[in-house]
Amino acid sequence: MSGCNCYSTVNEKLAPHNTRIKSTFVIEANRIGRPWPIETSQIETGRGKPKAISLIASFCPFCGTSLRGEAVPAQAARIRSDDGVSQIAAERDRQRVVEGYSLDSDLMTYQAEELARAACCYAMPIRDPRRSDALSWCTAPEGWPFSRKAWKPAQVVLDSQGSVVIAPADRVRELVKAGALIAAQIDVLQAQGGSR
């Protein structure tokens, strides 16, 4: 980027979170009024390394227009990716942009609230007896509506007392997935004629 050092500055701020901005990003049409996800990646990978955090642009990178529908002075703009709502919105956008899910495909594929059932599985605490994945990597929780391959839980480890635990950041990631799946289910129900 010529004329500014924003790319370097943002990467410096993301580095303590083991995250960096990917050098390319995609802008979808008709995104005004919705935040744009900015694709990030992990700096260091491997067991025990923190996962990359989500990053959402709150202003158009070209004209400075607020993507949240409110007029906010440029000097007041700052990266906000740590609150739950922002993380869930970024995950939902990631599911659309990276995974290719859309409301149209969800409407054609999911007729029995599978998205809500999947969200329940990710939201379920690890010590719940229905979380059979806590005891065996080859199973998904009771009620998981998709194939075993589609179940992507957080890494489960044993603490010093021999209890099954998930690192707090990994548990947050599971809850963010659950929130994004709930949002997708709400979109499906509303498209099928549910009230807003």
pLDDT of residue 117: 95
Most confident among 11-25, 57-71, 170-184 (mean pLDDT): 170-184
- Expressed as residue numbers, the domain containing 79 is 1-100
Question: Computed over its alpha carbons, how large is the radius of gyration of the chain?
Answer: 19
Q: Are residues 47 and 120 in the same domain?
A: no
Which are the contacts of 124, defined by CB distance < 8 A and separation ≥ 6? Answer: 130, 131, 141
CA distance 59 to 77: 8
pLDDT of residue 75: 37
Regarding predicted confidence, which is higher, 15 or 5?
Answer: 15
pLDDT digits (tens, 9 = 90+) for 49-60: 777 776 666 665
Q: Are residues 146 and 75 in the same domain?
A: no
Q: Are residues 139 and 79 in the same domain?
A: no
Dmax over Cα atoms in the chain, in whole Å?
A: 56
CA distance 19 to 28: 23
pLDDT digits (tens, 9 = 90+) for 111-147: 899 999 999 999 988 777 777 665 565 678 888 999 8
Angle value at C-alpha 179, between 97 and 159, nearest 5 degrees? 110
pLDDT digits (tens, 9 = 90+) for 83-105: 888 889 888 888 887 788 888 88
pTM of the predicted structure, to 2 decimals: 0.59
Q: Are residues 28 and 74 in the same domain?
A: yes
Burial of 160 (0-12, 13-18, 19+ CB in 10 A): exposed
Domain count, the chain: 2
pLDDT of residue 80: 47
